[in-house]
């Protein structure tokens, strides 16, 4: 393996010049730069990351902790994050936590020495632990707001409210909500949104779950949801909704004729045949990219300045998978609505309070 000094000899300069040419091209004369580059290419030189890390104290790795790889929302965030990281010459270390506080903590502990920062997706650790970690390494949080940390979230509650309003408008009186991951910050927010609306006249909200947000659990919970006597089902996320719809199909219950279905993010719905499913669209790839960009900024800036987080706007697609309940006498699907932006009374994409 060629070393810096080999390149230096080949290019007729010193090792420091090669180092500078390769990592800070602006600090070197253009002619020298070219000679160094030619020599490096010729020898197939690649820096030894360990040697660099030893002296700089930075490894070029970020740890990204996710509850679950199969969840398309997370998978999309990861993929986008990894792309941006690769562009900026950083690498992402993915660790799966299964949504368990213990595994999350273990992963943080294991990785702490090896990374320049953490991206935490839907972390379950306490606020105190998270802030504590941030004192040691830069931390960015996705899908949860943690005061004092840079957080990127999506305005799903705003979108959910839109769907909820639509259901009321259509005449539904019994809506079931299938709750997501136990202990999840996002699920609490979604439930809170529903609770706010439960005051509407003659409206009942039946909460079932919580369950891990997977296709299988959606299918398994379906019988329970139907047993509530509801005419519409809202699911914590699209994976659960898909599982519900799968089971409904298997049991011969038709959507939307017999029941309306909607979900809080549409990651699993893209490209499905038939009528598009009513859902709140969340820009998962953007979350991943924002997090990486913020982490790079923090890790580069020794001053401890912390970039502001954001709540990204969601988009609601109201479609014919929502219809009036059969009992309301308005048979047949409703005409598909257009796209609308998330929460109405709250400017989308507003910055998180950077306390």
Partner DNA sequence: CTGAAAGCGCTAACAG
Partner DNA sequence: CTGTTAGCGCTTTCAG
Query: Minimum distance from CB of 236 to DNA (Å)?
Result: 45
In 47-184, where does DSSP find H-type helix? 49-56, 72-87, 101-111, 127-136, 156-170
Half-sphere exposure of 281 (CA within 13 A, CB side): 15
Instruction: Confirm or reject binding of residue 17 to DNA (CB under 7 A).
Output: yes
Query: Minimum distance from CB of 12 to a copy of itself (Å)?
Result: 26
Q: Which stretch binds DNA (CB under 7 A): 18-26, 142-150, 178-186, 256-264?
A: 18-26
Instruction: Confirm or reject binding of residue 350 to DNA (CB under 7 A).
Output: no
Question: Would you mind telling me the total number of residues written for the chain in this entry?
Answer: 355
Question: 280 is in the binding site of which of DNA, a copy of itself, none (Cβ under 5 to 8 A by kind)?
Answer: none
Of 60 and 337, the one with the shorter C-beta distance to DNA is 60
Q: Which stretch binds DNA (CB under 7 A): 23-31, 145-153, 263-271, 295-303?
A: 23-31
Instruction: Confirm or reject binding of residue 302 to DNA (CB under 7 A).
Output: no
Q: Which residues contact 77 (CB under 8 A, 6 or more apart)?
A: 66, 121, 142, 284, 285, 287, 288, 291
Indicate which single residue of 38, 41, 56, 91 sits in contact with DNA (rule: CB under 7 A): 56
Question: 110 is in the binding site of which of DNA, a copy of itself, none (Cβ under 5 to 8 A by kind)?
Answer: a copy of itself
Of 22 and 167, the one with the shorter C-beta distance to DNA is 22
Of 15 and 95, the one with the shorter C-beta distance to a copy of itself is 95
Beta bridge partners of 130: none
CB 280 within 8 A of CB 312: no
Query: Minimum distance from CB of 159 to DNA (Å)?
Result: 45
Of 202 and 304, the one with the shorter C-beta distance to DNA is 304
Of 4 and 194, the one with the shorter C-beta distance to DNA is 4
Of 47 and 348, the one with the shorter C-beta distance to a copy of itself is 47
Indicate which single residue of 48, 114, 327, 330 sits in contact with DNA (rule: CB under 7 A): 48
Provide the token pair at 142.
Answer: 């996705």
Instruction: Confirm or reject binding of residue 22 to DNA (CB under 7 A).
Output: yes
Query: Minimum distance from CB of 69 to a copy of itself (Å)?
Result: 4
- Burial class from Cβ neighbours inside 10 Å (0-12, 13-18, 19+) for residue 200 reads middle
Q: Is the dihedral of CA 197, 333, 317, 237 positive or negative?
A: positive
Indicate which single residue of 13, 81, 176, 205 sits in contact with DNA (rule: CB under 7 A): 13
Task: Give the orientation angle of helix 4-11 with respect to helix 15-23, to 10 degrees.
Answer: 100
Tokens 């941006």 — which residue? 84
- Render the burial of 81-99: b for 16+ CB within 10 Å, e for the rest: bbebbeeeebebbbbbbeb
Q: Which residues contact 306 (CB under 8 A, 6 or more apart)?
A: 149, 150, 298, 354
Indicate which single residue of 9, 32, 37, 203 sits in contact with DNA (rule: CB under 7 A): 32
Q: How many CB atoms lie within 10 A of CB 193?
A: 20
* Local structure of 165: helix, strand or coil: helix
User: Where does this chain bind a copy of itself (CB under 8 A)?
Assistant: 46-51, 53-54, 59, 68-72, 75, 78-79, 82, 86, 91, 93-96, 106, 110-114, 215-216, 219-220, 222-223, 242, 245-250, 252, 254-255, 268, 270-274
Q: Which residues bind DNA (CB under 7 A)?
A: 1, 3-5, 12-17, 19-20, 22-23, 27-29, 31-32, 45, 47-48, 51-52, 54-56
């Amino acid at each position: 393996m060629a070393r810096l000094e080999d390149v230096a000899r080949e290019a007729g300069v010193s090792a420091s010049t090669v180092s500078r040419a390769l990592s800070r091209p602006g600090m070197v004369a253009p002619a020298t730069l070219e000679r160094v580059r030619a020599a490096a290419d010729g020898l197939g030189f690649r820096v030894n990351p360990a040697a660099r890390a030893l002296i700089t104290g930075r490894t070029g790795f970020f740890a990204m902790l996710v509850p679950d790889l199969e969840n398309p929302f997370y998978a999309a965030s990861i993929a986008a994050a990894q792309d941006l990281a690769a562009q900026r010459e950083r690498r992402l270390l993915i660790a799966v936590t299964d949504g368990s506080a213990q595994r999350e903590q273990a992963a943080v502990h294991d990785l702490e020495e090896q990374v320049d920062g953490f991206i935490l997706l839907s972390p379950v650790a306490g606020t105190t632990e998270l802030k504590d970690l941030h004192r040691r390494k830069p931390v960015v949080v996705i899908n949860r707001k943690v005061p004092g940390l840079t957080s990127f979230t999506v305005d799903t509650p705003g979108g959910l409210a839109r769907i909820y309003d639509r259901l009321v408008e259509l005449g539904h009186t019994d809506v079931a909500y299938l709750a997501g991951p136990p202990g999840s910050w996002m699920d609490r927010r979604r439930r809170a949104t529903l609770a706010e609306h439960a005051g509407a006249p003659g409206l009942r909200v039946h909460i079932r779950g919580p369950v891990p947000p997977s296709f299988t659990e959606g299918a398994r919970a379906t019988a329970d949801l139907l047993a509530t006597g509801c005419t519409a089902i809202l699911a914590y996320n699209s994976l659960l909704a898909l599982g519900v719809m799968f089971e409904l199909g298997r049991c011969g219950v038709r959507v939307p004729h017999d029941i309306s279905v909607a979900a809080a993010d549409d990651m699993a719905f893209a490209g499905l045949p038939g009528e598009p499913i009513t859902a709140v669209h969340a820009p998962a790839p953007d979350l991943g990219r924002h997090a990486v960009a913020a982490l790079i900024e923090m890790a580069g800036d020794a001053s401890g300045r912390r970039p502001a987080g954001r709540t990204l706007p969601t988009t609601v697609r109201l479609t014919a998978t929502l219809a009036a309940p059969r009992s309301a006498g308005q048979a047949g699907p409703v005409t598909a609505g257009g796209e609308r932006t998330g929460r109405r009374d709250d400017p989308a994409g507003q910055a998180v309070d950077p306390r």
